Amino acid sequence: MLPRVLNSVELKMYLDFCEVIKNMPKFEIKGTFKNDGQMKPYTKTVDAPNERLAGEFTLATIGSKHRLERKYIIIDSVKAIDGE
């Protein structure tokens, strides 16, 4: 099956979205999560519009991957990364 051809409005929206994603800042998130009864450290780098959403993305990613509730995931620090 061939992919659908975008009309001019859809193409402009897609290109604008790509530009926003490309220019999104990077954040480094450090913390711990509970795994097999022990607290394990983690460090994640995510692209996000702000620190709050970087933390949300991290909670969602770790929770989904390790099947954990948010109460078992602790964020110790969120730091913007420059120059990457």
What would the pLDDT profile of 3-45 be if each residue is shown by its tens digit?
677 788 888 888 877 777 777 899 999 999 998 889 999 999 9
Smallest CA-to-CA distance from 57 within 33, 34, 77, 29 is with: 29
Domain encompassing residue 64: 24-81
Quick: pLDDT tens for 41-50: 999 999 888 9
Q: Would 40 be classed as within a structural domain?
A: yes
Is residue 65 pLDDT above 90, yes or no? Answer: yes
- Do residues 42 and 62 touch, judged by C-beta distance below 8 A? yes
Please give the Cα distance from 43 to 77 (Å, whole number).
10
Question: Is residue 3 one of the residues assigned to a domain?
Answer: no
The structure's pTM equals: 0.72
Count up the domains in the chain and report the number.
Answer: 1
